[in-house]
Amino acid sequence: MKESRSVSGFTKLFPMLTLLLLACGLLGGGEADPGADLPPDATVPQGDGAPVLPDQVFTVDREFWHSGFRVLLGDGRFYAEEHEFTDEVRYFVTIAATFENQGGSDTYFDGSLALVTPGGAFPAMLNANHPTVPAGLSAPGEFRFEVGPDFDPETAALLVGRPDENRAQIPLGSQGGDLVDLAPSMPTVSGTISLQLIDLHFAGAELRADRPVSYSQVEAGKLALTLYFDAVNRKGGNWSIHAQDFALILPSGSLVAPDGADLGSLPGSDDGVTTTGLYVRFLIDAPPAGTFTLRFTPGSWLVGDDGVAEGAFEFTLE
């Protein structure tokens, strides 16, 4: 009977002990999770009242061309880091990138970069990963920026280039402005300049905002027009043509000299020897439109007995 009374007494005390333990948080009631019913991207107070630091991933999935590189943008990340000792919080954005080297040397991308938002501009950090890329190949890397706490990828854009050169602009989100990727184009240009001793056969052209051969960018308001051709030399020996032998007459009637060329030497024979892969480049106004005339005046060593020392052909850009 004593044992029965003891159990009965504990039973009477159990509800009171349970209430006491719950009040102390010892039975798992504890403090409620403040973010249990909130969406995953909400700012949730921590135990000391500080907000949760942001860590947001977004996708860009766009590309641009600049200073001899084609750059493909992948995923971005907006996040914060808190200093271990000072509690200072800094905010960063990284954007994964694949760098395609379209020039002829092993080098890395070094174009001017900034993230622009309605609230300001944030230049790229110097410790970003811009790998050295072999000529004609690609390599992964990333861009890195320090930004403000209110950064929003939806309203931001990546700005590539200095104010005095052709600039690319790549929106990160739907409100980041218009896309300016500076993609090159291949206008249809064909024609022949024929003299007694030499023929130039033009069969291609390219318009670019950069010069991959020198990893440089063309000045704002201009484009680089490269004309590709083969030469047939009917004079025995080894001869040459030079950039200054060419001039481009613009639709306005003004004349511009070449910005660059790759011409090399021209071996020849009475039957004619063909040299391929030549080009001459000019800077023209953007956007280009109208009829252009390419003029060719070779050195005296390539002027025949007929005395004709100049040839030309016309082409149209739209």
Q: pLDDT, tens digit, for every residue of 161-205?
A: 999 999 999 999 999 999 999 999 999 999 999 999 999 999 999
Residue that wins the pLDDT comparison between 225 and 40: 225
Is 156 in contact with 172 (CB distance < 8 Å)? yes
Instruction: Decide: residue 170, CB within 10 A, 0-12 exposed, 13-18 middle, 19+ buried.
Output: buried
Q: What's the pLDDT at 83?
A: 83
Q: In whole angstroms, what is the distance from residue 28 CA to residue 120 CA? A: 48
Q: How confident is the model at residue 131 (pLDDT cuts 50, 70, 90)?
A: very high
Q: What's the pLDDT at 48?
A: 52
Q: How confident is the model at residue 71 (pLDDT cuts 50, 70, 90)?
A: very high
Residues of the chain with pLDDT > 70: what percent?
Answer: 84
Q: What's the pLDDT at 86?
A: 85
Residues in CB range of 192: below 8 A, 6 or more apart:
199, 200, 201, 202, 313
pLDDT tens digits, 16-56:
444 443 444 444 444 444 333 433 443 444 445 556 778 99
How far are the Cα atoms of 147, 160, 225 from residue 124, in angstroms, in the given order? 10, 10, 31
Residue that wins the pLDDT comparison between 38 and 261: 261
pLDDT tens digits, 54-64:
899 999 999 99
Q: How confident is the model at residue 265 (pLDDT cuts 50, 70, 90)?
A: very high
Q: In whole angstroms, what is the distance from residue 129 CA to residue 217 CA? A: 21
